Amino acid sequence: MAETTSEQPAASGNNDFYALSSKTITGKDYPFSQLRDKVVLIVNVASKCGFTPQYKDLEKLHQDYSDKGLVVLGFPSNQFGGQEPGSAETIQTFCQKNYDVSFTIMEKSDVNGNEENSVFKYIKAAKPGLLGLKRVKWNFEKFLIDRQGNV
């Protein structure tokens, strides 16, 4: 569920990106208020997927554009073919060892369904897919949020 802060209350209908928060893969709170005035690329990731080599390109984007205000956030999910079965430590080690990932990886969570991460609930409500569907279709689906918090 989205959390709000006293500085920036959530707008009615839960439509304030900066009121969201999540946890990093190490369990630290990650308030999205720190993302204000940044461009944010949110990606659901997995370690055992045909798209997993995209970690390399995501890391390159992070390296090339983080100083210009781009923030890349990876959200591991095991909802698609069981392709992210590992623990937090296993995921961290995999990302570092194989792709030298230095962008922020969030804790493993669902991106669809009753237990979906509030970030994905917000994004899908803001920008439904084809035919109005509000589902992430597979691993490495990307969502871009502009400097004003628009998806």
Domain residues of the chain, as ranges? 18-142
Q: 18-142 is classed in which CATH architecture?
A: 3-Layer(aba) Sandwich (3.40)
**How far is residue 61's CA from residue 106's CA, in Å, rounded to a whole number?**
17
Instruction: Determine the pLDDT at residue 134.
Output: 77
With a CB cutoff of 8 Å and minimum separation 6, the contacts of 122 are 2, 14, 15, 17, 20
Rounded to two decimals, the pTM is: 0.86
Catalytic residues: 98
Tens digit of each residue's pLDDT (9 = 90 or more) over 101-134: 999 999 999 999 999 999 999 999 887 666 566 7
The ranges of the chain with pLDDT < 70 are 1-15, 128-133
When the pLDDT of each residue in the chain is averaged and rounded to a whole number, the result is 89
